[in-house]
């Protein structure tokens, strides 16, 4: 059976295949550059594993308190070396990126301190952590104040507003690398470095934390290479490589990581406890695979941008811009188009492909959200997934694909659903 026939068997029309094939052919040079970055990052991970002398003994499980967990300690050494930090906290007890960010923030802030976001409002699930939206146990309840400086209209930093916002009480600055549910540009590592340098020139003792979710291994350097005191992320996103079933990480300065560890476990215990429960092997192997997996997701994002931009939709990043995370935002302008797109992504999944996603009132969000993800790991957004708040401007956020081929199928299926609903008309390829 020919490849085209296989796609048609999956439900993709011939005209959609022809249109997409024409776009794919134009992306060979872009894909080659993505592969070069993946190769560089693959060597970086292997080098870190070799320096840490990873052995099969490190895959053994521990239980209970987890004292003397050699694998856990080696894994954290590998993360520290990969991200060029002094120390790391990499644990299955960190259940999500939001949880890891909460641990890093609450471990390093004290009553009377002020938290500053110089890149506008953070991702929705952090609003209740901070206290922007009132919630039990928020930083606001513990006497931590919050201030933000919004980005300028073009997505650049408002340095004047940031200068005015930094004051004697500013203890920690949180920088969200990816766009979240916004259509602003994702920040490059160089831009983050410029921002950190500016802030520390005003107040040298301020701590700078970067929410690194969706950005790991997209570039050859990470925010810790440009002055970040902490970088934080989820293992069911980029660095877990699709194998980590749970977990989060915090990498950075030793004193920052120690304080976070006391918040995660208990004062006086810190990093010394926390059983790995048999998770070390998929954590190591997932990190090993992560650069290649991220490359596949990036190719999918570039492909989606080119395909939908040519159809007249606004895409962020656009079809030509360099990439700093794996997320592709596509603004459709109507809820019907957003829902059809997500239903196409779901239909391309290896798991739960028969399920039809619908918007629902998801905890932590201020509007109904639709999520498409037929994943091996629940909520794993390094796997093929898409989600969107059902509110103006009706933009969908597509990410992931453990392989480029799966990402491609998802994008084709999303377009098929939009065509079936007569929302888009497929151009003829001559």
Domain(s) labelled CATH 3.90.1150.60 in the chain stretch across 3-41+291-420
**Is a pLDDT exceeding 70 seen at residue 65?**
yes
Encode pLDDT of 256-270 as tens digits: 999 999 999 999 999
Confidence at residue 363, expressed as pLDDT on a 0 to 100 scale: 75
Q: What is the DSSP string of 291-351?
A: HHHHHHHHHHHHHHHHHHHHTT-EEES-SSS--SSS-EEEE-SSHHHHHHHHHHHHHT-SS
Mean per-residue pLDDT, 179-201: 92
Report long-range pairs for 357-366 (Cβ below 8 Å, ≥24 apart). Answer: 359/335, 359/390, 364/98, 364/124, 364/125, 364/127, 364/128, 365/124, 365/125, 365/389, 366/124, 366/133
Query: What are phi and psi for residue 200, nearest 5 degrees?
Result: -70, -20
pLDDT band per the 50, 70, 90 thresholds, residue 276: very high
Domain(s) labelled CATH 3.40.640.10 in the chain stretch across 60-287
**Is a pLDDT exceeding 80 seen at residue 364?**
no
If you count them, how many residues does the chain have? 430
What share of the chain has pLDDT > 90, as a percent?
Answer: 94
Determine the number of helices (DSSP H) and then strands (DSSP E) in the chain. 12, 12
Domain formed by 60-287, architecture: 3-Layer(aba) Sandwich (3.40)
The DSSP bridge partners found for residue 248 are 91, 234
Say which CATH class 3-41+291-420 falls into: alpha beta
Confidence at residue 430, expressed as pLDDT on a 0 to 100 scale: 66
**Is a pLDDT exceeding 90 seen at residue 138?**
yes
The most distant pair of C-alpha atoms in the chain lies apart, rounded to whole Å, by 70
**Is a pLDDT exceeding 80 seen at residue 109?**
yes
Q: Are 394 and 338 in contact (CB under 8 A)?
A: yes
Comparing CA positions, the residue from 283, 269, 280, 278 lying closest to residue 67 is 269
Average pLDDT over the chain reads 96
Query: What are phi and psi for residue 54, nearest 5 degrees?
Result: -65, 135
Confidence at residue 258, expressed as pLDDT on a 0 to 100 scale: 98
Mean per-residue pLDDT, 78-85: 98
Confidence at residue 1, expressed as pLDDT on a 0 to 100 scale: 72
Encode pLDDT of 4-38 as tens digits: 999 999 999 999 999 999 999 999 999 999 999 99
Burial of 287 (0-12, 13-18, 19+ CB in 10 A): buried
Confidence at residue 182, expressed as pLDDT on a 0 to 100 scale: 75
pLDDT top residue among 154 and 408: 408
State the Rg of the chain over Cα: 21
């Amino acid at each position: 059976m020919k490849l085209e026939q296989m796609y048609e068997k999956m439900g993709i029309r011939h005209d959609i295949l022809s249109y997409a094939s024409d776009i794919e052919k134009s992306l060979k040079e872009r894909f080659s550059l993505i592969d070069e970055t993946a190769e560089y990052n693959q060597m970086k991970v292997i080098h870190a594993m070799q320096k840490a002398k990873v052995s099969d003994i490190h895959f053994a499980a521990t239980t209970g308190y987890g004292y003397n967990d050699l694998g856990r300690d080696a894994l954290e050494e590998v993360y520290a070396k990969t991200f060029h930090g002094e120390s790391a906290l990499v644990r299955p007890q960190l259940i999500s990126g939001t949880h890891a960010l909460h641990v890093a923030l609450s471990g390093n802030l004290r009553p009377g301190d002020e938290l500053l976001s110089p890149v506008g409002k953070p991702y929705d699930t952090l609003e209740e952590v901070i206290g922007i939206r009132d919630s039990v146990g928020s930083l606001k309840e513990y006497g931590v104040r919050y201030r933000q400086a919004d980005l300028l209209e073009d997505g650049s930093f408002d340095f004047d507003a940031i200068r005015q916002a930094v004051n004697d009480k500013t203890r920690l600055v949180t920088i969200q690398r990816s766009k979240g549910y916004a259509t602003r540009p994702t920040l490059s590592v160089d831009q983050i470095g410029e921002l950190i340098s500016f802030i520390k020139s005003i107040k040298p003792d301020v701590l700078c934390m970067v929410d690194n979710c969706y950005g790991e291994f997209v570039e050859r350097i990470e925010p810790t290479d440009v002055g970040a005191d902490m970088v934080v992320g989820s293992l069911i996103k980029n660095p877990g490589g699709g194998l980590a079933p749970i977990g989060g990480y915090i990498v950075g300065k030793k004193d920052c990581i120690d304080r976070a560890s006391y918040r995660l476990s208990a004062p006086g215990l810190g990093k010394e406890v926390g059983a790995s429960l048999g998770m070390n092997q998929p954590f190591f192997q997932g990190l090993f695979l992560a650069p290649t997996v991220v490359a596949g997701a990036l190719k999918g994002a570039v492909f989606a941008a080119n395909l939908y931009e040519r159809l007249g939709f606004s895409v962020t990043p656009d079809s030509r811009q360099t990439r700093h995370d794996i997320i592709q935002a596509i603004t459709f302008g109507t809820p019907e188009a957003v829902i059809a797109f997500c239903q196409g992504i779901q239909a391309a999944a290896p798991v739960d492909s028969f399920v039809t996603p619908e918007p629902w009132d998801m905890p932590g969000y201020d509007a109904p959200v639709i999520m498409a993800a037929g994943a091996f790991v629940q909520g794993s957004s390094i796997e093929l997934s898409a989600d969107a708040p059902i509110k103006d401007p009706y933009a969908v956020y597509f990410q992931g694909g453990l392989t480029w081929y799966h990402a491609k199928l998802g994008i084709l299926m999303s377009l098929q659903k939009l065509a079936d609903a007569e929302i888009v008309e497929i151009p003829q390829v001559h």
